[in-house]
A and B are shown apart, each in its own frame.
Chain A
Amino acid sequence: ETGVTQTPRHLVMGMTNKKSLKCEQHLGHNAMYWYKQSAKKPLELMFVYNFKEQTENNSVPSRFSPECPNSSHLFLHLHTLQPEDSALYLCASSQDGATSGRVQETQYFGPGTRLLVL
Chain B
Amino acid sequence: SQELEQSPQSLIVQEGKNLTINCTSSKTLYGLYWYKQKYGEGLIFLMMLQKGGEEKSHEKITAKLDEKKQQSSLHITASQPSHAGIYLCGADWSGSARQLTFGSGTQLTVLP
- Chains A and B bind each other: yes
What range describes how many residues of A lie at the interface? 20 to 34
Known A-B contacts A42-B104, A103-B30, A108-B45; the reply to A97 vs B40 at CB < 8 A is: no
What is the interface of chain B, defined by CB distance below 8 A to chain A? 2, 4, 30-31, 33, 35, 40-45, 48, 50, 88, 90, 92, 95-105
Q: Which residue of B96, B100, B105 contacts A45 across the interface (Cβ within 8 Å)?
A: B100
Residue ID in chain A nearest B4 by CB atoms: A42
The reply to whether B98 and A104 form a contact with Cβ atoms under 8 Å apart is: no
With A4-B42, A114-B40 given, is the CB distance from A107 to B92 under 8 Å? Answer: no
Pairs of residues from A and B, 6 with the lowest C-beta to C-beta distance, nearest first: A43-B102, A109-B43, A109-B42, A111-B42, A104-B31, A42-B102
Report how many A-B pairs have Cβ atoms within 8 Å. 73
**Which residue of chain B lies nearest to A48 when distances are taken between CB atoms in the complex?**
B98
- A105 on the interface (CB 8 Å rule)? yes
Chain B residue nearest in CB terms to A88: B40
Residues of A whose CB lies within 8 Å of any CB of B are: 2, 4, 6, 31, 33, 40-43, 45, 48, 50, 55-56, 88, 90, 92, 94, 96-97, 103-112, 114
Q: What is the bound-complex CA distance between A88 and B88, given in angstroms?
A: 15
- Which residues of chain A have C-beta atoms less than 8 A from B41's C-beta? 111-112
Would A50 and B98 be within 8 Å (CB), given that A111-B41, A111-B42 are in contact?
Answer: yes
Assembly CA distance A85 to B92 (angstroms)? 26
Check B98–A31 contact: CB distance below 8 A. Answer: yes
Q: Which B residues are in CB contact (< 8 Å) with A2?
A: 42, 44-45
Of all chain A residues, the one with the shortest Cβ separation from B2 is: A42
Complex: how many Å from CA A55 to CA B99? 10
Most buried by A among B44, B48, B95, B102: B102
Q: How far is the CA of A105 from the CA of B98 in the complex (A)?
A: 8
Given contacts A48-B98, A106-B45, A112-B41, 17 further A-B contacts (CB under 8 A): A2-B45, A4-B42, A42-B103, A43-B102, A45-B101, A90-B42, A94-B98, A104-B30, A104-B97, A106-B48, A107-B45, A109-B43, A109-B44, A110-B42, A111-B41, A112-B42, A114-B40
